[in-house]
Amino acid sequence: MMRDEWDSQMVISDGLEDYLYERIIDAYKMGMSVIELSRVICRRADHVHDLLRRAGRIRTIEKRGSRSAFSLDPMLAKEFGTISYSFAKWCAGWKFDAGTAARAIRLPNDVTGPDQYVAALRRDFPEYYCKRHDMPQSQLAPLFIEDEHPSVEINWDEEHNCYLARVIEYPEIEESGRSLTMAFKRMTDSYRIKQIDEAITLYQNALETNVKVAAPCSC
């Protein structure tokens, strides 16, 4: 490969991050939740939430005068604390009114049509849901799980005067960079794009086969 061709490919690969963000937005528009997306790409839910908020897909939460506008089951509050994601943001991601959602989760018989709230809870917090309803966890496996932390190899390429980073389990995922950090970041973005694409396919198949998932929100 000629040097100018190599440089051209490296310039094109700079758009990987933008394409990753586009695929995250696509997946959210199809109905995947913020927490599901965070599992797929192994990033904090706050990171995914803020990306979607900046893209205009999630509304900005209004500041409340009181922090006790709604109460949660302590077990559920702990789940949110563990992932450093607020209940208010979770509701915004699902296009829920926080007060109504809190009542529907706590007292479903007091709210009309609680199914959408419960379905969202089942998807994002399956372990909590099983404990709360005395169900075996095997009965409600999450639709999306975190990746298995694949192995990475980074080498200096003398011929092209750059670093090459690849995922050992997926040798087709290989990216270059003038610095070790840049090569690793590009490879990571490529891997996350692959994960998002596979998750979108899985979600579409689940809908087609009538697996019980919450209806996609109008994002």
Calculate mean pLDDT across residues 79-100: 94
The verdict on 48 and 9 lying in the same domain is no
**pTM confidence score:** 0.81
Each residue's pLDDT tens digit, 117-130? 888 988 899 888 88
Q: Quote the number of domains for the chain.
A: 2
The verdict on 47 and 133 lying in the same domain is yes
Residue 25 belongs to some domain of the structure: no
CA distance 10 to 156: 15
- Structural domain for 172, as ranges: 3-18+147-205
| Percent of the chain scoring above 70 in pLDDT | 77
Calculate mean pLDDT across residues 96-115: 74
Calculate mean pLDDT across residues 206-213: 66
Each residue's pLDDT tens digit, 189-206? 999 999 999 999 988 888
Is 22 or 113 the better-scoring residue by pLDDT? Answer: 22
Residues 6+ apart with CB under 8 A from 118: 104, 105, 108
CATH number at residue 164: 3.30.160
